[in-house]
Amino acid sequence: MREFAKLNPAVQLVYFLSVILVVMFDKNPVILLISVLFGLLICLRINSRVFLKDLPILAAILFISTISNPFFSQNGATTLLFINDMPVTLESLVYGLSVGVMLISVISWFKIFSFTMTSDKIMYLFGRYFPSLALTVSMIFKFIPQIIRQAENTKRVQQALGQFSAKSIMQKLKGSINIFSIVLTWSLENALDTAASMKARGYGQKNRSSFMLYRFTALDLITLLIVLILDVVLFLGIALGKTKFDYYPIISTVDTTGLALAVYISFGVLALLPFYLDFKESLKWKYYILKI
Amino acid sequence: MNKLLKCALKTGCAMKRIKKIVAFSIALAALSIGFFLFEEQKYTWGSLVIAIMACLPFFVKYENGRNAAEIVVIAIMTSIAVLGRIIFVAVPGFKPVTAVVVITAMYFGAHAGFITGALAALVSNFYFGQGPWTPIQMLVWGLIGLLSGIIALPLKKSLVLRVLFGAFSGVLYTLIIELWTVIWLDGYFNIRRYLTLLVSSGWFTLMYLVSNVVFLLLLAKPIGKKLERIITKYGL
Amino acid sequence: MEILHFENISFTYPNSDSKAVDNFSLSVKSGEFVVICGKSGCGKTTLLKLIKKELTPHGHLNGEILYKGMPITELEPNVSAREIGFVKQDPDSQLVTDKVWHELAFGLENLNVPPSAMRLRIGEISDYFGINEWFYRDVNTLSGGQKQLVNLAAAMIMQPELLLLDEPTSQLDPVAAADFISILEKLNKELGVTIIIAEHRLEELFPIADRIVLMDSGRILINSDPRGFGEKVKDLDEEYSRMLPSAIRIFNGVKVKAPCPLTVKEAREFVNANFKNDIKEYVPPEQKAAGNTALRLEDVWFRYERDSQDVLKGLKLTLEYGELFCVLGANGSGKTTMLNVAAGLDLPYKGQVFLEEKKINKKNFESFRTRIAYLPQNPQLMFVKDSIADDFFYMLNTLGLASDKAKELVETVAGKVGINDLLDKHPYDLSLGQLQKCALAKLLLQRPKILLLDEPTMGLDAIFKRVLADILINIKTEDAAVLMVTHDIEFAAENADRCALIFDGGIISSGTPEDFFSNNYFYTTAANRISRNIYKGAITCEQVIEMCLKNGVRDEKD
């Protein structure tokens, strides 16, 4: 994911929009399988420890989603059994399973999204159109750690003054409220100092530009073109109903005609694109090392 | 000179109109493409597009007013709201976010309320994870801010109204978020799933509602006093 | 060419009877380096803010300030933003954004500079200031000195012709402050930027300034080149000489007719050339006998997290009753941590802290709490209420004191520290010096026997430091002890009973100020650096002057 994260944020955004749109809205089992497998794989690569920790939760989501769906929906032709006169159908169970898989997939892909599209990249993208809003968010990210630090320091000093030594909870609560209150005062005073500094540096004039930290390189262009070409195939196929898949009343069969296959392959390539970039870079690196 | 200025102003206005038209057509295009592409999911898609489009006018208005003091105050209040969500992370549902948004709106108006709410959702999700629900959350918290800004005067005066409004906004939040979830998961309004979700998140909603009321009662006066001090001291 | 002109400027704040700036006239040439000095509250900050129209406070202004012949009030906003840069005291609150690169870009974004041009300017400025390495960092991860450098770079990126600085080094340690000032010198000499700086720390500024302006109650007392300044300040109140660089203080103290020295080198030549210097050793007055042990740190080891580095490594320290003990050391040497351990805020993982030879541990700490009082580096952190008096009574109430007794106590302490007129004020409306006094008063209300002070002189002017020193000397005679960590070498040399140097988590040397400083080569006072090869053991300006006078003036014939 490291090489992919170095690309221009605009390319990354187009990429994630394409993948996440499909993941969120297409319930075709092949698409679901591709997205969930590759999504989990990339998550594992990003941070295996977090991945293993999350695994039980994901399994629970899958389980609950499958088991509970017959309660919400009694559609489907194949009734397996009755619980209190409520039919439990095979279709309903499978639909529940597909919802579970989709949830896991969405969670994974948003994790990948959060990992690569850090806040400054998002601000970079929207800063051009909403400079004030982007600036506000940037200030919030400066203020939050500052406020935390001020609160911690105040608490320590108040502890040294014996303000938290009393055992009674009421006393401690009062102490905490005092700290919250004074830190708020401090934040507001501090903020107006910041406002003065903004004015001193010319803030408030009509037109404002936005600094572009990222350049648009040849690699960005190539990657963007690849993503767009894959998108054309993918969305054309989806628009032509090639991935249409019904769970009710009976589970339909997966389309395996030419264009449908092309859609699956396009999506697979798209999902694996970040992997490929990393792989290529590490090969190149090995080659350079050999040359030294 | 005057003519030139007028001309520039005119083209400026024309540019703005063109921009508006372009934005509107992009939105329409996005809506119809989504409807066309994901036929079963058209409501989810539509609601996301509408949520984003509904936020836009407020954001555009925010861009037009460039007052440094307003920006920093909104940034600080949003930071406090986000911090509230971080500090109380261990207590599900018990969050001061809505209360802070409401108080900001009470003293700085409906527009500032909307921006604070929307940004609180956006920024706190950078800490807790973005998801498809981010635009919906932004809109709902923004609307709560907007609404409390509109009824700011009665809110300031009446304690009862504050309590009612806190409870109302807590319920509103859950109703909308769960509604959206159901439509996303099933592609239609599956009332059984909706009711189940509401019941199973009942404890959460209750906590949320109670925390809104508690924090509004606790914080409205002291924060309000400080905001008023700032408003008079710096002439906002 | 004249860049700035003040014509009979007067300024009055709303709700105030006295003028903050009073009939002030001054002309500044392009490329000049002007230092404005004076006591806290003399009007220098207000004066600087009047030059930058975006920062001009509410109030009544008389007279006109001309920038390049144009009234400041009529400057186009983008001209004022571009050509007049401003750097303030607090490194944190001036930062607007969360990233260093964004902070540099901020001003240019406001001026609607196109991105390609911005990239060039940002690249240039980061090279010039040497901030390439932290270009992508979060501003919150920088040290105070680094933050202030970013603030200066963010002002300089606009390519201003006039740079205004309001006590920019007051929150920095001496090393960072000296770095900052040397960059100012470079900006002035290499780029020809006109600089007007208000500052308390004058030792490094005098040699590089073109002009020094001394203000009092909004008026100009002296306006002169640095050498002439030394001459003129003689005629004023003695307290003004305290804030001057050591070279000038010594020059003023001995009253010899000669050109005024400005640097250590010049002052050494001055003392060598003008005095007989037969008596070569300064004999300090008798030391009083050691008191009882108040606090003892025995082989203390401490680290903040289980797998982080040790901050304190077997530190040993003994504080005796009746003494003022100054611990000096660089940033990161473990000074503040040592104080936290002594205050019981942090517990060592190995080693012991003894209070009057009784072991302190987690269980019995509360019973010792009121005997030890701790003053943090930032006195603002001491206050949680909306007025000083409220805060005092709230604390005394939680400590369980009856209200009539509390009232009596507050009255006594307020009288002793001299803050009767500040009791009704909001802590955030006070100046740093006033706040420091109130913080000290809050400590004394606990009637402690041991005071632990973290950098109490940071940001204070020389005259206020004297007031603080008098309060501390007054406290320690009452069967109490003061332990302070500080960067302030001159303060330690003048007022401490004992000094110590902390390095890498341990005390590496300690002794009386005279022994301690005359044994150090780098870490010593300017007066000692001036006189070290002439008089042994003289470390303060007063001592050097005393030695000069004792030796007597060298005759012309010698």
Q: What is the pLDDT of residue B10?
A: 52
**Cβ distance C78 to C53 under 8 Å?**
no
Residues 158-197 of B with CB under 8 A from A: 184-186, 190, 192-193, 196
Collapsed DSSP state (helix, strand, coil) of residue C354 = strand
Which long-range CB contacts under 8 A does C54-60 form with residues at least 24 apart?
Answer: C54/A196, C54/A199, C54/A200, C54/C80, C54/C81, C55/A196, C55/A199, C55/A200, C55/C86, C57/C13, C58/B235, C58/C13, C58/C14, C59/C11, C59/C12, C59/C13, C59/C14, C59/C16, C59/C20, C60/C11, C60/C12, C60/C14
Question: Could you tell me if residue C233 is inside a domain?
Answer: no
* Res B21 pLDDT > 80: no
Q: Phi first, then psi: what are they for A168, rounded to 5°?
A: -70, 140
Give me the mean pLDDT over the B122-142 stretch. Answer: 91
Cα C112 to the center of its chain, rounded Å: 38
Max alpha carbon distance in chain C (Å)? 75
Q: Report pLDDT digits (tens) over A184-197.
A: 989 998 888 899 89
Rounded Cα–Cα distance for residues C65 and C61 (Å): 10
For strands C481-486 and C498-503, give the pairing.
unpaired
CB contact A201 to C (< 8 Å): yes
Same domain, C397 and C526: no
Q: Of C535, C523, C462, which is closest to residue C495 (Cα–Cα)?
A: C462
The pLDDT tens digits for C424-476 are 988 888 888 889 989 999 998 988 889 999 999 988 888 889 889 998 988 88
**Is any Cβ of chain B less than 8 angstroms from the Cβ of A72?**
yes
Chains that touch B (3 or more CB pairs under 8 A): A
> Under an 8 A CB cutoff, do B132 and A20 touch?
yes
Tokens standing for residue C483: 């332990």
**pLDDT over threshold 90, residue A181:** no
- Regarding beta strands C312-320 and C60-67, do their DSSP bridges make them parallel or antiparallel, or are they unpaired? unpaired
Q: Cα(C501)–Cα(C329) distance, rounded to whole angstroms?
A: 6
CATH number for C123:
3.40.50.300
- Mean pLDDT for the stretch of residues C202-210: 93
Dihedral, CA atoms, C420, C425, C429, C435, nearest 10 degrees? 40
**Residue C342 forms contact with A (CB below 8 Å):** no
A90 inside 8 A of chain B by CB: no
Q: Per-residue confidence at C270, pLDDT binned at 50, 70, 90?
A: very high
pLDDT at B233: 72
Tokens matching residue A112: 């990948």
pLDDT at C103: 94
- Count of CA atoms in the C-beta half-sphere (13 A) of B136: 20
Whether residue A217 lies within 8 A of chain C, CB to CB, comes out as no
Contacts of A178 in chain C (CB under 8 A): 384-385, 394
- Which among B47-56, B216-225, C147-156, C518-527 has the top mean pLDDT? C147-156
A202 alpha-carbon distance from chain centroid: 36
DSSP for C366-426 reads HHHGGGEEEE-SSGGGG--SSSHHHHHHHHHHHTT--HHHHHHHHHHHHHHHT-GGGTTS-
Contacts of B71 in chain A (CB under 8 A): 132, 135-136, 139, 195, 198
Give pLDDT, residue B1: 44
Query: Is C95 inside a domain boundary?
Result: yes
Contact check, Cβ <8 Å, A184/B36: no
Q: Which chains touch A (3 or more CB pairs under 8 A)?
A: B, C
DSSP string, C14-38: TT-SS-SEEEEEEEEETT-EEEEE-
Confidence (pLDDT) at C410: 93
Chain A residues lying within 8 Å of B32, measured CB to CB: none
Q: pLDDT by residue (tens digit) across C17-73?
A: 888 999 999 999 999 999 999 888 888 999 999 999 888 888 899 999 999 999 998
Domain boundaries, chain A: 2-123+216-291, 129-200
C69 and C114 inside one domain: yes
Which letter does DSSP use for residue B93 in this model?
Answer: T
Q: Which residues contact C314 (CB under 8 A, 6 or more apart)?
A: C299, C300, C301, C351, C505, C506
Q: Are residues C379 and C248 in the same domain?
A: no
Residues B3-17: tens digit of each pLDDT: 545 554 455 556 666
Q: Which domains does chain B have, with CATH numbers?
A: 66-234 (1.10.1760.20)
Q: Render pLDDT for B54-102 as a digit per residue (tens, 0 to 9).
A: 899 999 899 887 788 889 999 999 999 999 888 888 777 888 999 999 9
Query: Integer distance in angstroms from the first to the last C-alpha of chain B?
Result: 34
Is A203 at the interface with chain B, CB within 8 A? yes
pLDDT number for residue A286: 83
Tell me the shortest Cα–Cα distance from A146 to chain C, in angstroms.
7
Interface membership of A5 toward C (CB under 8 Å): no
Whether residues C411 and C522 share a domain: the answer is no
Interface of A with C in 104-143 (CB under 8 A): 120, 131, 135, 138-139, 141-142
Nearest CB to C97 within list A138, A202, A212: A138
CA distance C520 to C535: 15
Name the nearest CA neighbour of C65 among C214, C184, C196.
Answer: C196
Query: Which positions in chain C touch A161 (Cβ < 8 Å)?
Result: 374, 382, 395, 442, 446
- The secondary structure element, H or E, covering residue A155 is helix A131-160
Contact list in B for residue A237 (CB cut-off 8 A) is none
- The backbone torsions φ and ψ at residue A255, rounded to the nearest 5 degrees and listed phi first, read -70, 125
Mean pLDDT over A129-152 rounds to 90
**Residue-averaged pLDDT of chain A:** 88
Whether the CB of B235 is below 8 Å from some CB of chain A: the reply is no
Tokens describing residue A223: 């990657």
pLDDT given for residue C126 in this prediction: 94
User: What is the percent of chain A where pLDDT is above 90?
Assistant: 39
Q: What is the mean pLDDT of residues C529-549?
A: 91
Q: How far is CA B168 from CA B110, B199, B211, C428, in A?
A: 17, 17, 12, 38
Among B18-22, C21-25, C257-261, name the one with the lowest average pLDDT: B18-22
Note which residues in 9-38 of chain A have CB less than 8 A from chain B: 20, 24-27
Yes or no: say if C300 and C349 are a contact pair by the CB < 8 Å rule.
no
Are residue C387 and residue C441 in the same domain, yes or no?
yes
Q: Please, which residues bridge with residue C163 across strands?
A: C85, C195
| pLDDT reported for residue B11 | 52
Closest CB to B62 among A133, A181, A239: A133
For residue C212, name the pLDDT band (cuts at 50, 70, 90).
very high
With respect to residue C232, please indicate whether it lies within any of the assigned structural domains.
no
Q: Which two tokens stand for residue A33?
A: 């399988």
pLDDT tier at A167, thresholds 50, 70, 90: low
Contact C92 A178 (CB under 8 A): no
Q: Does A235 touch chain B if contact means CB atoms closer than 8 Å?
A: yes
Searching chain A, which residue's CA lies closest to the CA of residue B190?
A: A72
Rounded Cα distance between C138 and C97, Å, is 9
Is the complex ipTM higher than 0.85? yes
Chain A residues in contact with C366 by the CB 8 A cut-off are 162, 165
Q: Cβ neighbours of residue B66 under 8 Å, at least 6 residues apart?
A: A132, A203, A204, A205, A206, A208
Residues in a beta bridge with C481: C450
Provide the 8-state DSSP code for C73.
G
What torsion, rounded to 10 degrees, do the Cα atoms C379, C385, C389, C394 define?
-110
State whether C349 and C467 are in the same domain: yes
The pLDDT score that the predictor gives to residue A265 is 94
Helix (H) or strand (E) segment spanning residue C47: helix C44-51
- In tens, the pLDDT along A20-35 reads 989 988 889 999 999 9
Query: What is the structure's pLDDT at A164?
Result: 74
Instruction: Kindly state whether residue C238 falls inside one of the protein's structural domains.
Output: no
C147 domain-assigned: yes
Q: Are B131 and A144 in contact (CB < 8 Å)?
A: no
* Neighbour-count burial for A28-50, b at 16+ CB within 10 Å, e otherwise: bbbbbebbbebbbebbeebeeee
Q: Cα–Cα distance between A111 and A109 in angstroms, integer? A: 5
Residue C387 lies in domain: 293-511
Question: Shortest CB distance from A182 goes to which of C154, C158, C383?
Answer: C383
Nearest chain A residue (CA) to C122: A211
Q: Let me know if residue C477 belongs to a domain.
A: yes
Q: What gap in Å lies between CA A6 and CA A113, rounded to an integer?
A: 13
Q: What percent of chain C has pLDDT over 90?
A: 54
C360 & C479 share domain: yes
The structure's pTM equals: 0.87
Could you tell me if C280 and C298 lie in one domain? no
* Count of structural domains, chain C: 3
Region B148-153 average pLDDT: 94
pLDDT, residue A166, reads 65
Q: Which of A153, A200, A213 sits opposite C381 (nearest CB)?
A: A153
Distance (Å, whole) CA C33 – CA C197: 8
Task: Say whether residue C429 is in contact with chain A using an 8 A CB cutoff.
Answer: no
Note whether C35 and C79 are same-domain residues.
yes
Mean pLDDT confidence for B193-217:
88
Of A120, A141, A189, the CB nearest to C428: A189
Q: How confident is the model at residue C516 (pLDDT cuts 50, 70, 90)?
A: very high
Residue B143 pLDDT class (50, 70, 90 cuts): very high
Mean pLDDT across chain B: 85
Given pLDDT bands bounded at 50, 70 and 90, which one contains residue C147? very high
pLDDT tens per residue across span C61-108: 999 999 999 999 899 888 999 999 999 999 998 999 989 999 999 999
Of the candidates A146, A163, A211, which has its C-beta nearest C105's C-beta? A211
What pLDDT band is residue A101 in, cutting at 50, 70 and 90? very high
Say whether both C453 and C412 belong to one domain.
yes
The three-state secondary structure class of C301 is strand
Residues of A in Cβ contact (< 8 Å) with B56? none
**Strand pairing partners for C162?**
C84, C194
- The Cα–Cα gap between C4 and C1 comes to 9
Contact assignment for C98 to A142 by CB distance below 8 Å: yes
Q: Does A55 touch chain C (CB under 8 A)?
A: no
- In the A/B pair of chains, how many CB contacts fall below 8 A? 128
Chain B hits for A72, CB-CB cut-off 8 Å, are 186, 190, 192-193, 196
C544 and C414 in one domain?
Answer: no
Residues C473 and C449 in one domain: yes
